[in-house]
Amino acid sequence: MSSTNRGAKRQPNDLYETPAETTLAILPRLSEWQPNSVLDPPYSLAEQFVRRAYETAWMVVALLPLAFLGSEDGESLIERVDMPDVYLLSTRQSFIGGTAGPHDSAWMVWDVGGNGGRIRRLKSVCRAAARKEE
């Protein structure tokens, strides 16, 4: 949902499925890293989901709004756990179909014992596929 509540109806149980291209953008790295926790948590509970996963996992990968890092929950998580590596998605994602969503998203990676804080940009899978077809 947008912060301005642009009239979209909420999905039952706040079920907003991850767009395929969002998962495909990080998939090659997931194959390389082999994390044991990959999340697309409800944004209102993201800090609790990541913190809990971090207690038992060697690597946590979570899809979150980029603004999460500057939020109270994001700052709390960084203080308690660590700064994640951030993989920016090159386009805004649509979780309710249709036009692009209201915020920039990123895959955030917490690696136990890693040196977090790197920022990288993921190429859009859809854009790459369109270029191949041209």
Q: For the chain, where are the E strands, in sequence order? A: 37-39, 59-65, 85-89, 105-111, 119-122
Q: pLDDT at position 99, please?
A: 55
- For residues 84 and 116, is the Cβ–Cβ distance under 8 A? yes
What pLDDT does residue 5 have? 42
**pLDDT for residue 9:** 64
Q: Would the pTM count as exceeding 0.75?
A: no
Sheet holding 85-89, edge to edge: 37-39, 59-65, 105-111, 85-89, 119-122
Q: Can you tell me the distance from the alpha carbon of 125 to that of 133, in angstroms, rounded to the nearest whole number?
A: 13
CA–CA gap between residue 73 and residue 45 (Å, rounded): 9
pLDDT for 61 equals 92
CA distance 15 to 31: 26
Instruction: Note whether 77 and 19 are within 8 A (CB).
Output: no
Question: What are the pLDDT tens digits along the chain (134 aa)?
Answer: 444 445 556 555 566 677 777 878 888 888 888 888 998 888 888 899 998 998 888 899 999 988 888 899 888 888 888 888 888 886 656 555 555 556 778 888 988 777 677 788 776 554 444 344 34
DSSP state of 134: -
Does an H or E element contain 128, and which?
Answer: helix 125-133
Distance CA 3, CA 80 (A): 27
